[in-house]
Structure formats: C-alpha cells, structure tokens
Chains A and B, each alone.
Chain A
Amino acid sequence: MPENVSEHGGAASPADDSIWHWRCKVNGQIIERDLPASTTLLHALRDHCSLTGTKGACEEGECGSCTVLLDGAPVNSCLVLAAQTQDCQVTTIEAMASGRKLHILQDKFLAAGAAQCGYCTPGLIMAAAALLKQHPDPTPDEFLQGMEGNICRCTGYKAISEAIRQAAQEWPTPPEVP
C-alpha cells in the first residue's frame, strides 16, 4: 500500500450465533422463543415479544431505563442475557397496571408530573417498585441506593422523588408488585 493511505473495513461476517431456546415466564405468561444466544433480555423483550415498554438507552448498565424485575429483584435487562433468565420470572412495566387500574406508582408519577418525555419512566417505576417492596418507608440513604442507578435527563428528579414518597405513604395497601 502506498504511504499515507489508510484502508479500513472488509471485515468478514460475524461469527455465527448459536440459537438458544429461551423459555421464561414474562408477566405471568410462559414465553418460548428461539433466539441468538447473545440476545440480551432487553432485546428479547423488545424485539421478540413486542414488549416495548422497557426502554434501552445506554445498553451498558448506566441509566436504568431498561430496569425490569427478575424473580422480583431489579436488574438492568441490557446487562442480562436472555439465556440467563431461563425458567425465571420477569416482570415488566406492562404488568404494573391491572386492567384499567393504574399501579399506585403509575398514578403518583402521573399526578406529580414525574414523567416529562417519559422515556426513563418505565425503568424508574420498576426500580421504585422494587425499592418500596424492600423498604416500604425508605430512609434517604435507602432511597438513593435504590434509585441512583436510574438517570432522568428531563425532570431534575424532584417530581420523581415526590411521586415515590407519596406512593410510599399509601404502601403497602396498593396492589402487590406482580
């Protein structure tokens, strides 16, 4: 190659991804799908189950937009492979309202104006549900530990904290987290 010429690309096709037979209980329903083994839980839910309520934003565990409950515990679904959730229970934002009745957190988020663009909202509601399940009356430290993994670019967090605090006051009478 002549000097001061750079050449890029021409890479071969990616290595074949083996197929994984994924079986998982999502929002109370057994789901079975054949997925490339490298599929994350986030993409399994969004691209293969049309459950697009769960959002992806950084896909490296920094923003919490993709938070779902895995056997009741909050996880960043972008960091979990679908294969790791074999026969587990996954709960997403789509399961929070029962019929037309909103979950208490959804109701408080709506009332407090805690959703502006709303992109962070599903993840925040799932993280808050997990927090309040564990600490129905969280101390400021418990609150921050439960919520600091979720980024919101729009609201400045005040209305979100307010909504979660108000939901906590009516906890645990509300419908249980599924």
Chain B
Amino acid sequence: MATTPAPPPVTDKPLIEPSPTPYADPPPSPVGASARRLDGLEKVTGEALYAADFFPREADLFATILRSHEAHAEVLSIDTAPAMKVAGVVGVYTHVDVPGTNRQGLIKRDHPVLVEDRVRYKGDALAVVVATSESAAHAGRDAIRVRYRPLPVVGSIDDALAPKAPKLFPNGNVMGGKRIRKGDADRALAEADVVVSETFQTQTVDHAFLDVEAGIARWDGRTLVIHASGQWVHEERRLIALALGLPIEQVRVIQPATGGAFGGREDLGMQVHVGLAALKHPGKTIALRYDRAESMRARHKRHALRIHYTLGARGDGTLTAAKVTVFSDEGAYASTGPAVIRKASSHATGPYRVPNVHVDVYGVYTNNNPTGAMRGFGACQLAVAYEGMIDRLARKLGMDRVELRRRNLVRSGDAVTTGQVIPLATGVECLDAVMDRFRNGGRPLEPLPPYRRRGWGVSTICFGLGYGDGFPDASRAGVRFTRDGFLEVLTGAVEYGQGLLNMVAQIAAAELGMPIEKARVIWADTGRTLESGSSSATRQTYFTGNAVKRAASELKEEILDIAGTHLHVHPHEIVLRDGLAVTRFGEPRSVPIAELVADGFNRGYELSVKALYKPATLCENFETGQSPRAFITYLFVSHLAQVVVDVETGQVTVERYIACHDVGKAINPQSVDGQITGGVAQGIGMALMEEVVMREGRMANANFTDYILPTFRDVPPVETIILENQDPGGPFGARGVGEPPLIAAVPAVLNAIHDALGVAPHTTPCNPQRVWELLHPEQAEPPADIRFRTAPPHARP
C-alpha cells in the first residue's frame, strides 16, 4: 500500500517566483480611453455628408413616391397618364414595372414595395415618379389618378380581433405568437399569499431621428449603387436584389454619414424605390428624399403593447408566479414583428426569480403604421409592466420597494424567464449602486408648494443581447496595415452616432499597440467590407468587437514575428505598445511598428487578417419557450428617477436621474456615457410625452409640432455609474450598452410618478392628460376649462 507523501513544508516563500513585470504600471491602452470620435471633426465642422447632402452635388434626376390616400382599400386603378403630361416628368412606375419579388420586410417579407391591389395603411407606396426637378416630381405625383374601393378600417387590436373583422391577410389578423411555460403558474397564483393584477397599454412611438430618409442611386448597366442610410447594409443588399430581381453581386449599398437610427432604419425605406428609378434611367444619378411628414407616415413604428399582468408572491415578498398575456399591434405589415414578440416574451419577468411563468404573446395586424424594430425591441414594453408590478406588489405588501427587488433579483446561477442560467448576475450590485448614490448625494431638495408633489422611482432590468433563440448571429471583420503606416479596420457594421467607429478602432489599436490616431475604419460598404450583421440588438460591441479582436490578434502574431527578427528575441518576449515593439525582459529595446510594417510588406507579408465571430444560441422548446442558452449574454442595469408632479397642470418634471450600467468593460467611457444619457432621454420621452396618434388609420401628428420630443428642459444631467464586471466572452470583457438605457428609463419615471401621486400609471405616455385621469378616476373627461399644455414652448419664431 502506497503511503501518502508528506505535504511540502509551509513557507512564506511562494513556490514559483513571479516573473518580473515588464512595466511598473501597465501602459495606457486605447481600450478604456475616452478617445475623440473618429468622425467628430467632420461632424462639428458640418463637412460630414449625410444622404440628403449629396442632392445638390450629384443628382441628375429626382424621384418621389406616391403614397396611399386610404388606410384600407382595394386599388381599382392607377392612372399615370396625367402625371406623364406634367412638364419635367420623365417616368412613372407602378408595381408592374418592378422586376423582382416586389416585397420587403426584414423577417416577414409581407410588405409590397409598390402595392398591387390592396393598400393596408396610409403610407403604402403606389408609384414612383421620376422628373428633372423635385418640384416636377411632386407635381407628377399629385397628378396620378387612383381609384379605390374603401374597406372598413381596422384601427385597433380590438377591431382586428372582433368576430366579424375584415381579414387583412389570407390567414386572418393574428400574425403569430409565442408562449412561455415554466412550472404551473395557475396553481401557484391560486396558492399565493398576495396577487396583484394590472393591464398596461404602451403607445406607438416614432424613432424621430433627425436625418430624414434620403438616398441616391445609379445603375451603369452592371452595378446598381445605392447610397442610403440603413442599419445592415448586407441584408439591405439582399432585400434590394430580391425585390428588383437582380443578382446580388450587381447591387452595392454604401452607407453615408447617418443622423440616428434607433431601429428606424432596420426596415428598408426608399432604397428599393430609388433603385427602381435608377434601373429605369441607366447612367443617371437619381435622388429621392422624404420630408418629415412622409418619414413619419411611411416608416414603421415601435409596437404598442397591451399587457395583462398578474403577479403572485408569498407574504414575505418572495415571487412565486407570473401570468402574462400580451397583444401587440403589428400594424399593416409585420417585418421584424415575430422577433419583437420573441424578445418581449423572453423578458416577461425581467431580472427576477419567478419559478412559475405563463406567457402568451400575440401579434395582431391592423391598418395602423407597420411596426418594426425600435431601441428596446419588445423588452422595453415588458419592463414597463414587470417593474410597475413590483412597485404595486410592494405597496400591497407594505414592503420597501428596494428590499422587495433585492429579495427577488436573480443572483449568479439563477435562471431568468427563458430558463437560461445567468453565470454572472449583477442586478443587485447595480441597484445598490444607484441607491447609494441617491441617498448619499444630490443637492438639498427645494420645498414644494402643496400642488406639486415629489417622488422617486427605481427600476432594475436585464437584457439578453444579440438576436438569440438560435437565430444565426455572426460578425466578420478585417484588420490590416497599410503601406502608409495606418491600421485599418474593415467592418460592414454601421455608425449612426452610437460610437461604433471608435469601438472597433480602439479594440484593434489596443490589440496591436498602436495609437488610436493611427487607426481608421472602412465601414458599411458592401463593395469593400464583409458582413457584420445588423447594428442593432445591442450586439455590435460584443459581436464585431470580438471579430475585430480576433483579426487583430492574429495580425499581432505576424508583427511580433517580424519584430523578433529585428530585436533578436523570441516573438513572445516582445510587447506592442504606443506604436513600438518593445522587449519585455532586461533593458527595454524597441523598434517602431511602422518600420516592421514596411519591412513586412517588403518581405511579402500581407498584413491583412479577416476573422469571423459566430457564437451559437439555442432555439427554445416551442411548447415551453425554455432554452438553456436563449441569448449569448445578459446585461444588468438599474435606474432611479426623481420627479415632481404638478397636480393642477399634470406636468411631470424629472428633477434628478441616476443610471447604473454594468457594461463589462467600457471600451470608450465617453461613448458609453453618451449612450446612457441619450437612451435615458428617449426613455423620458416615451414615459412622458411621445405618442403617435392614429385616427382611423391616419397618423394625426406626423410632424414635430405635435409629436413631442424631449428638449433641454425635459432631461436633467444624468448621473451615470459604469460598472465593469468583465464578461468572459466579450472583447476585453465588454458586453455593450445600446438598448438598456431606454428600457430601464421608462419604468423608473413611471414608478416615480406612482410614488409622487400614490396612484400607479398604467398607460404610456403619462402626459398631463393621463396624470389628470389618474388623479380623477371617477371622471371620464377633464372639464372643458382645463387646457393641458401638450407642447413645450420651445419653438423659436
């Protein structure tokens, strides 16, 4: 029998001597630096060229789109002859002139480019007019004679689900749905000590990016080149090619500077229309731009959701069950609707441990504006519900709201709605950080007159980033050195303001020890870059960031290889920093990377690497909606809003705002801060003022006078707290920022109103009229002498 060897004697001396660290302090890295935006200079000087800026410079011919006069009708005839008589008009095209499938739509391709026989919303495109001037094109558009047989307008979910409702599509008005089944929610609710129920209604929201849709296109007989702003140039190329019946290699999409997107450019706007015009007029550059009204009437919107939510708990506040039924207004066409429904249901119970969950989500077609992606993508509406429910439950239990959250937030190793176990859950940390800042900071509060009431509200959310649910999700990127000593990153991803260029450049520069000033980015051009997936779903930092890091680290091996021969040491004994290759041990010796690059090219190295990042998620069990890996990773966020409500005017003012985000690693802290503050502003807009008003299928406020956006007056300086619990799979540990700032902001503001008034809001936006309704539940209508100020007085004469 072998005897156990005696343990080694315990000494203070470590068994292995640590190797000498090359530097006392690690050198500053471009990752984690608030480097200036790579596109900043051209933006502050006005030199950046957005799509509409090409017009005076490039256009040979101008195009415009005729849009439906009716919300729902059979199209009997389109007479283009009067338009052709208008001076300057050189072509009028309808569906018969579209050579391809004549369909668009990101997931469900149900949206005609030019309507064949039936219009389904007051924005459906019927014809494209091409003329020698924009005003001639408009005159031609107005001259086209269209005869319709009007059909009953399906203006709401209730209209659509009514027994005798007209069918909007052959299969009826229910577009689709998704369910989640976990445990036995009905039984758990019956056994719960307390149960709270509420019906929430969220509104239709417009993206309201400032840079209205525009584009130019040219067909030279071989390639159709389109310059227009989207969010996924490679998918746009696929859709344009299909709709126009062109082989994909004959279409090239190039993204100009882009003034915001927020999901609003995920669906095609006028790309196919301007492309069609270009095909019909070879050799001419065609320009097409919307005005604000057309932009708002034509574009898809955020889904309005009606959410019935029942939450059960034990007497000590432990959540036991949630039963959730959701109806989503898909509008006339679904596009990304199926994905929005999935994301909504996957986040139905947010960051809380709920053992029994029963969720049904249905998408319903109406004659309202089509719907699609917008920052938050379904998860945002559900956060309004679950965070509202937690505050209602706290009141009913007489428990502290923060304590109730702490008790139920998922801890590392717990599962969320989809059954996915979260390895690193930091919701509690985020919540504690905002509460700590709130209680130990801020200016002393001004005393309020009795008609003004103050309150604060908190929200904690989690968000699964990427497409998830087994949907293929991949990013490709290239990193290379150029002969003039620049480090170039190539990505198909889109910069629309969020800071993508710096993200990829800083990652590549950090990996290759180059100063950020020596980095540049070639992006979003299907003729020059590889596909990086959409710039949406909070995915680019994680996905393209990883692809860039992979490419850069392989390129680094090549540089180190060359450096070894210059410095006469093993490549692994060299580090790259500040544009130098430096020996790690002994007296540091160095050689400029630029020299190594020049030498590399002379020796025939390509110094160009492409990489793919394609992690897998898993499709859920369709019966239960459960998936061990629904999303690649989760983000945790907590927000706190302090508001003052004027109970006479119904005006809500956000006084103070704190936002804590665990981003894994902030590649560029200034951009992260900017994404958070910008998302909070949009969240305040959604909570308090923004609302698309539809009347019988007509958008009643398709302009910035009546569609109210947050201004300087409405948004306090957001106090941001950035936590960096590194994600093991993220580039440098980064997760992302993107959508969560908006998602967490809406419930934080609503919960603050709940706290101030003692009544809980259930309908968004909580504008003055709705505040009045909350305070006067017994009266249906405010008295005639009350005039709510709905527009802030911000118009300058």
Binding site for B on A (CB under 8 A): 4-14, 17, 36, 46-48, 50, 52-65, 74-76, 79, 92-94, 96-97, 102, 106-107, 109-113, 115-122, 125, 143-144, 147-161
Contact = CB atoms under 8 A, between A and B. Distances in A.
Interface in B73-93: 73, 76, 79, 82, 86-87
B150 interface: yes
Contacts of A9: 66, 69, 82, 142-146
A162 B715 CA distance: 14
A117 B497 contact: yes
A121 B69 contact: no
Contacts of A54: 46
Nearest to B257: A118
Interface of B: 34, 36-37, 39-50, 52-53, 55-57, 66, 69-70, 73, 76, 79, 82, 86-87, 135, 138-139, 142-150, 208-212, 257-260, 262, 291-292, 496-499, 670-671, 673-674, 676-682, 703-705, 709, 711-713, 715, 717-718, 792, 794-797
B646 to A, nearest CB: 18
B70 A6 contact: yes
B82 A64 contact: no
A153 B709 contact: yes
A74 B143 CA distance: 39
Contacts of B703: 58, 60, 62
A158 B717 contact: yes
A154 B741 CA distance: 12
B258 A117 contact: yes
A8 B210 contact: no
A149 B39 contact: no
B678 A57 contact: no
B660 to A, nearest CB: 15
B677 A155 contact: yes
B681 A5 contact: no
Contact of B147 (A7, A97, A109): A7
Given A46-B56, A156-B677, A148 B794 contact: yes
A48 B134 CA distance: 13
Contact of B797 (A4, A61, A96, A156): A61
B210 A13 contact: no
A7 B146 contact: yes
A153 B209 contact: yes
Given A125-B44, A151-B704, A61 B795 contact: yes
Given A117-B260, A158-B717, A122 B46 contact: yes
A147 B34 CA distance: 26
A148 B792 contact: yes
Contact of B76 (A5, A10, A93, A161): A5
A76 B148 contact: no
A55 B794 CA distance: 18
Given A60-B704, A76-B796, A149-B794, A106 B45 contact: yes
A13 B678 contact: no
A151 to B, nearest CB: 5
Nearest to B208: A153
Nearest to A148: B794
Nearest to A119: B259
A122 B257 CA distance: 14
A118 B43 contact: yes
Contacts of B291: 59
Contact of B210 (A14, A36, A144, A153): A153
B678 A116 contact: yes
**Residue with the highest number of chain A CB atoms closer than 10 Å, among B144, B208, B211:** B211
